[in-house]
Each structure stands twice: as C-alpha cells, then as structure tokens.
Amino acid sequence: MKLVRTFKPAAAGLLLALAFASATASAVNLTVTHWADGMYGAPFAVALEKGYFKEAGVDVTGFITSQGGGTTVRNAMASEIPYGEVALPAAIAAVKQGVDLTIVHGGVLSLADIYWVAKAGSPLASINDLKGKKLGYSSPKSVTDMVSTIALSKAGILNDVQRKAAGSSAAALTALREGGLDVIYATEPMYSREKASLKMVIRSTDLVPSATQTVGVVRTDYLKKNPGIIKAIIAARRKGVEFIQKNPAEAGEIMAKHYKMPADVAKAAINEILAAKGTYWSTGKLDYEGMNTMLAGLTLVKAVEPGPFDWNKIVDESQLPADQRK
C-alpha cells in the first residue's frame, strides 16, 4: 500500500515561516544615506534598538553609509539585501543611467532639517536681507543648491546674491566664522549642536513646504524574488517612525547612542523637526507632489534633463500596508 503524506495547515505555515527565517537568518547591514550624520537614519536606529527588525524577521545588525548621492545607491545595489534609503535625486539619476531599481516607500518628505543661518548677532533676519550678500550651499546640483535657487528666484533677488559651493557642513561653518560667507546651509543635528553661535535666518520649509528628500529603493530583481523581506523592512522602519513621534525624548537617547553624539543634541534635533510644518519622516507613504517638487527643482539647477518622468514605471507600492498606499 502506498503511503501518502499530507501536511496540516499549521504544519505548512510552520514550514513557510522556517523557509522565510532561513532566507534571512544571516545578519545583514542596510544602506542608509548619511547614517550617523543626518536625521534620515533616526527611525532605523530606533528600529534596531527596539528589536523591530528581528520581530519582522530580518536580522539587521548595522548600517552602510556614505556622504550621499550615487555612492549610496551603488552601495545599496551591491549589498546582500540590495535595499537602501537614498536621496531621491540620486535614485532618479540612477534610473536615468539604466540602473534597474524600484522605489518602494517614502522616506523623508520635507526639508525640515535644512536651515539657512548667519553668525549670532547678525542683522540678517529674512531672505530679502540677503541682497548683496554671500550665501553658501553644499555643492552644484545638490538639494541645497536647488532650495536656495528656488527661494532666491521667488524673492526676485537670485542675481543679487553671490552663491558659492561651500562643501560639507563643517567647511561651510568654518567659512561663515571666518567671514568668507554671510549665510550658509545648516542641517540637523549639526544645527542643534552649534546653534548657540548661529542665528536662524530662513527655514527651508517656509520656502519649499513639500519636497521629498529620500525614498526607499531596492534592486528590482531582488524585490521580485524576496518581496517579504522588503515588506518586513518597511514595517520595522514604520514602527521606528511611530516610536519617535510618541517618545521623542527616548528616541533622542537611542539616536545619540547609535550616532555617538550628546543626548541633548539628538533630542533637540528631533524636537526641532517634529515642531516643523508638515511630515518629515514618512511611515511609508509616498508623497507624489513632493517628489514632483524635487524633480522640478532638480530640473531648475540642471541636475536632470527636463521632460516628463513616469513614476509608475519605477514605483511599486505593493509591499506597503494598505493604509500607506496611494
């Protein structure tokens, strides 16, 4: 007599769980732009500290980073899990260069971490005061290049302000202190660390209310084969964002631990961002208006060629929870 084995539903479910666990058993690092330097990584720090990644079935032990741009995208695409939260401009540039990646979730949806500052005691108090002054942005075709171009154009003084590429925030701060620049960009958490010697002149959110800075991307072939892993990462990151919103003080302690910075600085940076207009950290939802704003700005500074851009060809919302989809 032939023996036929059957699996009960519970046993089948256990086998599926074991299969998923084995696929993600090895410890992995995820790619996050400007990790331990910018605010983009705060939800990931919380998710790691609180065990949200392991709860979701992904054993994340650390993060790979860079100073942004195409390097971060390349790091992400070459990783064991070819996923990363990267700058939207870098993702757009990579797609235009033929990289087969897919945008799977929203990251940072506003410019609430970017300010324009002068030295403490400066008479400068608004954008109109910048006429005839020297302003420092990070680098050509960057987000700070875009924001300053849009803002000064709206004020009608673009040609009356001497804009200079100042490099890193540390280099820009040195130029400001030495008198080489009158106003510079400042990002969190650097601003919260140095604000005793600085004067806020402009908040970027007052000039450009909605602009998507970062998105979650994954190599398309990997997404097709491992959708569950990407879904798990999105879920863990969401819990990290929600924890920051409900527990900003504890989140600041966690961020300080992982970023190796004073807790008061991390807490101040989080509070500044949560107090700003609009949504900074997305719980996954994509802001297409903000993505189009960023695209238009990048076209303005000639970072991308003008013309239509079909988000539908590179966006896949299927791994987002139902309440986070368009």
- At residue 317, φ and ψ (nearest 5 deg) are -90, 5
Distance in angstroms (rounded) separating the CA atoms of residues 191 and 321: 34
pLDDT beyond 80 at 115: yes
Helix (H, G, I), strand (E, B), or coil: what is residue 28? strand
Lookup: tokens for 275: 């107090």
Identify the band that residue 72 occupies on the pLDDT scale cut at 50, 70 and 90.
confident
Average pLDDT over residues 95-107: 94
Average pLDDT of the residues in 32-55: 95
Chain centre distance of CA 82: 17
CB neighbour list of residue 101: distance below 8 Å, 6 or more residues apart: 73, 77, 91, 94, 95, 217, 218, 219, 220, 314
Alpha-carbon torsion 70, 282, 192, 147, what sign?
positive
Q: How far apart are CA 76 and CA 80, in angstroms?
A: 9
DSSP letter assigned to residue 323: G
Do the beta carbons of residue 248 and residue 254 sit within 8 Å? no
Residues 6+ apart with CB under 8 A from 52: 46, 235, 236, 237, 239, 240
Separation between Cα atoms, residue 15 and residue 248, nearest integer Å: 39
The angle at the Cα of 61, spanning 57 to 65, to the nearest 5 degrees, equals: 120
Order of strands across the sheet that contains 28-32: 60-64, 28-32, 83-87, 214-219, 101-106
Cis peptide bond N-terminal to 227, omega within 30: no
pLDDT of residue 69: 63
pLDDT of amino acid 68: 59
Asked whether residue 40 carries a pLDDT value surpassing 70, the answer given is: yes
User: Quick check: do 9-110+211-324 and 114-207 share a fold?
Assistant: yes
Q: In this model, does residue 8 exceed pLDDT 80?
A: no
Pairing of strands 114-119, 134-137: unpaired
Task: Give the per-residue pLDDT at 3.
Answer: 37
Please give the average per-residue pLDDT across 170-181, as a whole number: 96
- Interval 203-215 mean pLDDT: 91
What are phi and psi for residue 118, nearest 5 degrees? -120, 180
Which of 63-77, 128-142, 263-277 shows the lowest per-residue confidence on average (mean pLDDT)?
63-77
Q: How far apart are CA 96 and CA 304, in angstroms?
A: 9
pTM of the model: 0.87
What is the pLDDT at residue 192?
96
Instruction: Tell me the residue type at 99.
Output: V
Q: How far apart are the first and last CA of the chain?
A: 56
- Segments making up each domain of the chain, as ranges: 9-110+211-324, 114-207
What fold does the segment set 9-110+211-324 form as a domain? Answer: D-Maltodextrin-Binding Protein; domain 2 (3.40.190)
Non-local CB neighbours of 291 within 8 Å, separated by 6+ positions: 88, 212, 215, 311
Instruction: Give 114-207's CATH code, choosing from 3.40.190.10, 2.130.10.10, 3.40.50.150, 3.40.50.300.
Output: 3.40.190.10
Distance between CA atoms of residues 4 and 215, nearest Å: 49
Instruction: Give 118 or 209, the one with higher predicted confidence.
Output: 118
Of 21-30, 140-149, 228-237, 308-317, which range is least confident?
21-30
Radius of gyration of the chain (CA): 21
Query: b/e per residue, 100-130, with b = 16+ CB within 10 A?
Result: ebbbbbbbbbbbbbbbbbbbeebebeebebb
- Give the mean model confidence (pLDDT) for residues 272-283: 94
Q: Where is pLDDT greater, at 271 or 10? A: 271
Burial status of residue 174 (CB atoms within 10 A of its CB: 0-12, 13-18, 19 or more):
middle
